[in-house]
Amino acid sequence: MKLRYLPVIRALCLGAALLAALPLRAQPAPVPVEVTAVHWQDYARPVRLSGVLENKSEQNLAFKIAGLVHRVAVDEGQWVSEGQLLAALDLEEIDAQVAKAGSVLANAERNLQRFRSLQDLNALSIDQLQQAETQVDVARSDLTVARFNQRHAVIRAPADGRVLKRFVERNEMVANGRPAFLFAARKSGWVLRAGVTDRDIVRLSMNDRASVTFDAWPGRTFRAEITELAGRADASQTFEIELRIAAQEQTPLLAGFVGHAVITPAAAEQVVRLPVSAMVRAWPLADGSSEVEIFVVSEQQRAQRRRVSVLHLDHDALIVRAGLEEGEQVVTSGASYLSDDRALLPAQTISAE
């Protein structure tokens, strides 16, 4: 009976010997990678926009009355001082009106004095005396109006500033109220006006800080802050905001410059900054954010595939808002060569701050 199983036993022993003689399959070598430690920090997503530089306050200067332009004393772009003469009408007609109003007033005052003398003699009724007093008041008002028009038959600079535009020429007939100059006071300063979307306007608040650059001055940055926020959208369905520019004396500015602003909202949230090289693939979401796939280093030094929520891409950094724990290590270089559970050899640790 025992001899019957002897061939089977010999075959099993031979198979075991052959298996022992075969070389073992080599395990994959750990992949050298660079990693960064997760560190949560405050972050305010910047708002980027472009707009046109304008004077904070611009005024249309005009003559109070119609007339013939006698003199134009300034040119476009000229800096002027407060009270400096800009233009004047021919005053011959208005001077005559002032003289006429003065004569009428003088005559009315003489009549009033005579009527008062007659009243003292009971030779004049009270109604006649009151009419004479009314005529004096009317004549005095006419003289005030004539003198007011005389003063405003010339245009003077209301403050130190600059003549942006000139709309009149000498010997030209102008109507009252027609703009003669567009003027900007020096002390009013500069503002950048631009439109933002509804998603951005809700993240902004008064006095938020910004940095502004201009195409006319490449490489130079100006400080700014929000001074106005629109209360409703305009026809383009954007909300206009105003940034007040801190001007630099050595860098002159002109209205109409195209400016580009980066606004840092005061409201911040906790995020993790990761290099873009940590991303393996991405999936956009309906709210404008996205999810990306990365590799995290496990305690056993193995790659773990993970999807994390990303707020947006800030230049060369991924702004992660969920999906990571403080102190975890994320693969930042070599992630494209990894598979799940692959052994890792971290070659260098990079700070995520």
Give the up-direction half-sphere exposure of residue 278: CA atoms within 13 A in the CB hemisphere: 34
Residue 335 pLDDT exceeds 60: yes
Ramachandran category for residue 224: left, alpha or beta (phi over 0 → left; psi -120 to 50 → alpha)? beta
Residue 258 pLDDT exceeds 80: yes
**Burial state string for 317-349 with b = 16 or more CB within 10 A and e = fewer than 16:** bbbbbebbeeebbbbbbbbeebeeebebebeee
Residue 15 pLDDT exceeds 80: no
Q: Do 193 and 212 reside in the same domain of the chain?
A: yes
Q: Which of these ranges, 121-125, 300-304, 309-313, has the smallest mean pLDDT?
A: 121-125
Q: Do 65 and 177 reside in the same domain of the chain?
A: yes
Q: Which of these ranges, 56-65, 159-168, 209-218, 244-253, has the smallest mean pLDDT?
A: 244-253
Q: Which of these ranges, 29-33, 51-55, 152-156, 210-214, has the smallest mean pLDDT?
A: 29-33
Single out the residue in 214, 234, 264 at which a domain terminates: 264
Q: What backbone phi and psi angles, to 5 degrees, belong to 160? A: -65, 130
Q: Which two tokens stand for residue 249?
A: 């004396």
pLDDT band, residue 196 (cuts 50/70/90): very high
Give the best-scoring range by mean pLDDT among 253-257, 258-262, 305-309: 258-262
Tokens 């520019």 — which residue?
245
Residue 119 pLDDT exceeds 50: yes
Q: Do 189 and 216 reside in the same domain of the chain?
A: yes
**What pLDDT score was predicted for residue 179?**
92
The pLDDT of 235-252, averaged and rounded, is 86
The pLDDT of 182-190, averaged and rounded, is 88
Q: Do 90 and 126 reside in the same domain of the chain?
A: yes
- % of the chain with per-residue pLDDT over 70: 87
For residue 93, what is the domain's CATH number? 2.40.50.100
Residue 252 pLDDT exceeds 80: yes
Do the domain assignments include residue 9? no
Residue 244 pLDDT exceeds 90: yes
Q: Do 161 and 224 reside in the same domain of the chain?
A: no
The pLDDT of 107-125, averaged and rounded, is 72
**What pLDDT score was predicted for residue 24?**
47
Residue 77 pLDDT exceeds 90: no
Q: Do 177 and 104 reside in the same domain of the chain?
A: yes
Q: Do 347 and 281 reside in the same domain of the chain?
A: yes
Do the domain assignments include residue 12? no
CB atoms within 10 A of CB 36: 23
Residue 213 pLDDT exceeds 90: yes
For residue 292, what is the domain's CATH number? 2.40.420.20
- Gap between the Cα atoms of 95 and 100, Å rounded: 9
**Helical (H) or strand (E) element with 16:** helix 6-21
Domain range enclosing 279: 31-43+269-351
Do the domain assignments include residue 100? yes
**What pLDDT score was predicted for residue 124?**
63
For residue 212, what is the domain's CATH number? 2.40.30.170
The pLDDT of 26-32, averaged and rounded, is 73
Do the domain assignments include residue 203? yes
Return mean pLDDT, the chain.
Answer: 84
Do the domain assignments include residue 14? no
The pLDDT of 68-85, averaged and rounded, is 91
- Gap between the Cα atoms of 128 and 125, Å rounded: 5
Residue 16 pLDDT exceeds 60: no
Q: What backbone phi and psi angles, to 5 degrees, belong to 85? A: -70, 130
**What pLDDT score was predicted for residue 113?**
78
Single out the residue in 236, 264, 292 at which a domain terminates: 264
The pLDDT of 244-273, averaged and rounded, is 87
The pLDDT of 107-133, averaged and rounded, is 73
Residue 243 pLDDT exceeds 90: yes
CB atoms within 10 A of CB 116: 13
Q: Do 77 and 179 reside in the same domain of the chain?
A: yes
Q: Which two tokens stand for residue 145?
A: 């109006």
Do the domain assignments include residue 232? yes
- Kindly report the pTM of this predicted structure: 0.63
Q: Do 179 and 189 reside in the same domain of the chain?
A: no
Q: Which of these ranges, 104-113, 171-180, 205-214, has the smallest mean pLDDT?
A: 104-113
**What pLDDT score was predicted for residue 29?**
78
Q: Do 205 and 293 reside in the same domain of the chain?
A: no
Single out the residue in 264, 296, 319 at which a domain terminates: 264
Q: How many distinct structural domains can be found in the chain?
A: 3
Residue 294 pLDDT exceeds 60: yes
Give the up-direction half-sphere exposure of residue 74: CA atoms within 13 A in the CB hemisphere: 27
User: Which DSSP string corresponds to 84-122?
Assistant: -EEEEE--HHHHHHHHHHHHHHHHHHHHHHHHHHHHHTT
The pLDDT of 218-226, averaged and rounded, is 91
